Structure 1
Amino acid sequence: MIVPWEQVPAESLRNLVEEFVTRDGTDYGEQEVSLETRVGQVMQQLRRAEVVIWFDDVTETITLMTARDARDAQRLAEQSAGHDE
């Protein structure tokens, strides 16, 4: 389920974005990019709806993903729910 970023308290949103940009495997190439810059970039992507906050109600976890990946995940969840009935 997509969670509107505007509904997340500012401190929680900042923590989520920081956790996302500092994950292992997050590569910014040869040039070192500051944490503030990376957070700012992701915040811009959230504002432009290129990235969304995703809550997985099965695992009860929250993460950031591209809007396209979220739409695909939403579609799969809806299909799965339809088969459970």
Structure 2
Amino acid sequence: MIIPVSEIATDTLMNIIEGFVLREGTEYGSVDCDLADKVDQVLQQLKRGEALLVYSELHESVNIVPKDQLAATQEEY
């Protein structure tokens, strides 16, 4: 289930994004980005609709998924 970003309290949303960034260990190229910059980048992707908050009833968890990845996954089923 997709959760609209606008329906999440700001503190909760920031905690979800921070957890995602720390868990993913993403690479940001040759330039180091601090945690705040990475969190802001993900927040902007969520606001633009490039990434989505997805709740898994099976795992009872929320994850951040790129929109195109979610669309590809749904087409398989």
TM-score scaled by structure 1?
0.78
1:65 to 1:48, Cα distance in 2 relative to 1, 3 A: same
Post-superposition Cα deviations, 1:6-50, rounded to whole Å, max 9, x if no partner, equal 101110100000011111532223321011111111111011100
Structure 1: segments with no counterpart, 5+ residues? 80-85
Q: Which residue of 2 aligns with 1:70?
A: 70
1:9 to 1:73, Cα distance in 2 relative to 1, 3 A: farther
Structure 2: segments with no counterpart, 5+ residues? none
**Greater CA deviation, 44-53 or 61-70?**
61-70
Residues paired across the two proteins, number = 77
Post-superposition Cα deviations, 1:26-80, rounded to whole Å, max 9, x if no partner, equal 222332101111111111101110000010111111110011222344456xx5x
Q: Which has the larger radius of gyration?
A: 1
TM-score scaled by structure 2?
0.85
RMSD, aligned CA: 1.7
Deviation at 1:5, TM superposition (A): 0.8
